[in-house]
Structure 1
Amino acid sequence: MTATDTRAQGVPSPVARRGSRPGWIAVAVWAAGIAAVFGVGWYLRRAGLATEDALPPLHARTRSHPLTWRMAPGAAAAAALVAVLPWAASRLRWRALLAVAWAGSALWAVALAASDGWAALARPLDAPTEYPAGLAQVRPDPLEWLRTFTERLGGYTTHVRGHPPLPTLTLWALEKAGLPGTGWAAAFVIASGTSAVAAIAVTLRCAAGERAARAAVPFLVLAPLALWVATAMDAFFLAVGAWGTALAAVAAGRARLRSALPAAAAGGLLLGCLPYLSYGLLPLFAVPLAVLAARRPRPLVLAALGAGLAVAPAAFTSLGFWWPDGVRATLDTYLVSRGSAQRSFTYFLFGDLAVLGLLTGPAVAYALPGAAGALRRAVRARAWSARAVVASVAFAALLGTLVLDVSGVTKGEVERIWVPFAAWLVVAAPLARTDRAGEPPGESPGGPPGGTAVRGWLAAQAVTALAVQAVVLSPW
């Protein structure tokens, strides 16, 4: 029987079976690694060697009674999205697809969080350790608060003193705009965080073509990281980085400088805000750098991007906040807090990567060997296909997480910290697909985004998120 005959009868060819083997090995490593990390965490906790977290490596605890019927909204949303997204990605017009992707991402995040009741959407921001609790110190005089931010850092709430001043100032601006309270703050975080799906799709379309972007959209919408989009402020950080990168990619691809330069400046402005949202976002610049390397923008576009990048540092410095002093003061408070600084570096070196695996899901684990192969072939041939460009973006995000992980500044609580990075890693998921002979489909990053295999992996992504939500109670 020929390979053509086996394909006609729906039987995988030997080449296809060999091509899928590395992916399944990666999924087995993914599952075993997560199980091992949680097992070691349980042992350390029982031995009294890890007391900071109830369910290491997550900063969470196991539910006393796993959720059952209350997961119905999330399960229903997952079923609908698994059914609709592949069709939408292949049939809808581009702008309509972006709107559907944003709405679907918001539906998925809200449906997961709603299993704890609608009040759960704002509850994480009500905690006394969160940013809104520190707004009382900002209201009398925001400029004075900013000038004295570093010297008064020890008196602020946990999240305020663990970050630069921009997240708190953003919530203060939201309040001044007539949207006070944690309810509006939660809506802002969810709306902005879920919009990142559209921004990442726009970036992929500019860098690797529309087919690549369409293939990625269903996986971006149903990524398990949605568990922490509602409602950790890191979802807002994701949005800022994603839209900054998208604008830079759009500017790099525009022929007319009259429209390219404003987009580049706006993208640079957003990207320049990243270090003032979180000190740990510096490695995220690997992603826009990978995109710009693929697009090779003109010098004037790069100049406009650089001018935009300089705005936030210049503004904060002129108003009295010197970023290096903020890093130093935050590190000092971190070391004397006897909190997360006491966590085991060795355990969380691996534990943080296991959490990254939870955020990205089994579909990404299956795809990574194929993505690595596409990148390796591109480097050898010095010819960058759409698959290789998508892979470079995903591995740039992975590199950023590895830098933070090895640095030791992210020991635990990374389920929210990884969100701005993990979304970019999810774009690798469609790279697992092969043509009917089992070989990579040339320039396509995965072919038309439909079919049983795609829906199967989307279902696996959704089940991962539903399982975590059912058994884990997170403060975010």
Structure 2
Amino acid sequence: MRIGRREAVAVSAAVVLVVAAFVVPRLNLGIVTPLINASPQRFRSFADTAPIFGWWNAHVGPGTIPAIAIGVAAVLWGPTLARRLPWRALPWVAWATSCAWAFSLAMIDGWQRGFAGRLESRHEYLRQVPSVTDVGEAVRTFADRIVDYQPDSWITHVSGHPPGALLTFVWLDRIGLSGGAWAGLLCLLVGSSIAAAIVVTVRALADEDAARTAAPFVAVAPSAIWIAVSADGYFAGVAAWGITLLALAVTARVRLPWLAAVGAGLLLGWGIFLNYGLGLIALLAVAVLISAATWRAALTALAPAVLAALAVVGVFALAGFWWFDGYVLVQERYWQGIANDRPFQYWGWANLASTVCAIGLGSVAALARTFDLEALKRRSGLHLLVLAALLAILFADLSRLSKAETERIWLPFTVWLVAATALLPRPSLRFWLALNVIGALALNHFILTNW
């Protein structure tokens, strides 16, 4: 196997970036540090393993053997199986594998600490659910309770997101599925379905061969570490299927493209009421539209998608919540917290190191192949989509509203970077896939991640 120059350069740069991000916090370089104004205990609590949010803790658990088994099987047989499976089965197998992989990684930390208890911590949505006795009133007064240091301020994660995030867990509780295990299961199922969404999207925007190439990579992506146990996995899943439906509508890969466009609009519209940062998903949507064979195809998909998204915005407006009001107030809340002590001089580049950890070095190698001028000139949907995800990450980084924890927060964008593996040459697939799997297993066994 021969590694190309572009891949070698990209991976080498990524390794240097990650090593620097882990080493610099120990060098006492003033404000080039993950946390200022911090006692040793506070530093350990919030920056012990920067750029990843967690704590150094070499450990094994019930998920260790299953995770290793899934990873090894994916490397040895994944590429071959992805070639041989009937197409209709492939997205389902990718989803099932991703689900098992994510759950196994979570179980390395044990059932309660690794899965069932993660969404029950004091800053999470489930702590706020019992206080919502009137959903209508909660939505109407939502913006009034975003800013901190008020008697009725929302807890950290609720205040940092639009009301759709909290409502999801309230509704789950209302139908009798209360507690951290059910909430975790929702995030696991929706988040792991991203693997199927990406496979379907790559086939629509490129071809079936590319989709089969990417399938093993998206099934055992390192990002699964955070998908299984954080609400951001759920957010990313909703957004991913919105992009997938838009791609199917633009390429007319379904019987009723307009209906797929409506579904895309509803999901993407709902997505921005789950996470303010998902406003940047518009960049990925634009990339899909630009890749359309004709402008008529793009407009035919765009119109129903926009109308459906506006319908979601209208429903929330009628219920008493205006997205832009919440967005302005959440910035105020953001700077009331630990963000003031997280210097951009470190996180401005260390965020990108955490992204490398979330996608794996194999995906980094593939990203080098997306900077293809000829492919961009012919408006290759796959290339445009991946570069749009990179651009969204760059904008999120420069906004200074995503300092730290981006391995979780940027999931809606980082998952699409893994789609670039569809461009890797076949002889190198197992090598790059093995690097991704080894990276994920090492990270999860040596760092006790906060999510």
Q: How does the TM-score come out when normalised to structure 2? A: 0.91
Match of 1:9 in 2: none
Structure 2 match to 1:132: 126
Name the CA shift for 1:69/1:173 in 2 (closer, same or farther; >3 Å).
closer
CA RMSD of aligned residues (A): 2.0
Q: Which aligned pairs between 1:49-448 and structure 2 lie closer than 5 A?
A: 51=43, 52-63=46-57, 65-67=58-60, 71-119=64-112, 120-138=114-132, 140-153=133-146, 154=148, 155-254=153-252, 259-295=256-292, 296=294, 297-337=297-337, 339-372=338-371, 374=372, 376-379=373-376, 382-384=377-379, 388-433=380-425
Letter in 2 for 1:471: F
1:27 to 11, 17, 20: 11
Q: 2:129 and 2:19 mapped to 1: Cα distance?
A: 40
CA distance in 2: counterparts of 1:69 and 1:159, whole angstroms:
29
Moved more, 456-465 or 206-215: 206-215
Cα distance in 1, alignment partners of residues 102 and 62 from structure 2 = 18
Displacement of 1:343 in angstroms is: 0.6
Shift of 1:430: 3.2
Q: Give per-residue Cα distances to partners, 1:36-77, cap 9 Å, x unaligned.
A: 1111123346996663422222221111x4438962221112
Give 1:148's aligned amino acid.
T
Q: Aligned with 2:229: secondary structure?
A: coil
User: Aligned partners of 1:68, 1:190: CA distance in 2, in Å?
Assistant: 19
The counterpart of 2:435, out of the listed 448, 455, 460, is 460
**Cα distance in 2 for residues equivalent to 1:223 and 1:123:** 23
TM-superposed CA distance for 1:427, in Å, is: 0.9
Structure 1 residues 103 and 68, CA, compared in 2 at 3 Å: closer, same or farther? closer
**1:213, distance to aligned residue in structure 2 (A):** 1.3
Deviations 1:210-269 (A, max 9, x none): 12211111111111111101111111111111111111111223288x722221111111
CA distance 1:43–1:175, change in 2 (3 Å): same
Q: C-alpha separation between the residues in 2 aligned to 1:253 and 1:27?
A: 33
Q: TM-score, normalised by structure 1?
A: 0.86
For residue 163 of structure 2, what is the amino acid of its counterpart? P
C-alpha deviation, 1:165, in angstroms: 0.7
Rounded to whole Å, the distance in 2 between the matches of 1:136 and 1:197 is 33
1:165, 1:48 → 2: CA distance? 32
Paired residues, number: 432
CA distance in 2, matches of 1:216, 1:80: 16
Partner of 1:473: 448
Bigger shift: 276-285 or 188-197? 276-285
> Which runs of 5 or more residues in structure 1 are unaligned?
1-11, 434-449
Change (3 A) 1:281 1:341: farther
Q: Which amino acid is 1:147 matched to?
A: R
What per-residue deviation string (whole Å, max 9, x for no partner) do you get for residues 324-369 of structure 1? 11112211222222x1232101100011000001111111222222
Name segments (4+ residues, structure 1) moved above 4 Å: 44-50
CA distance in 2, matches of 1:43, 1:95: 52
Out of 36, 41, 63, the position equivalent to 2:25 is 41
One-letter identity of the residue aligned with 1:293: I
Match of 2:374, as an amino acid?
A: R
Mapped contact 2:239–2:268 kept (Cα < 8 A): yes
Overall identity of the aligned pairs, in %: 35
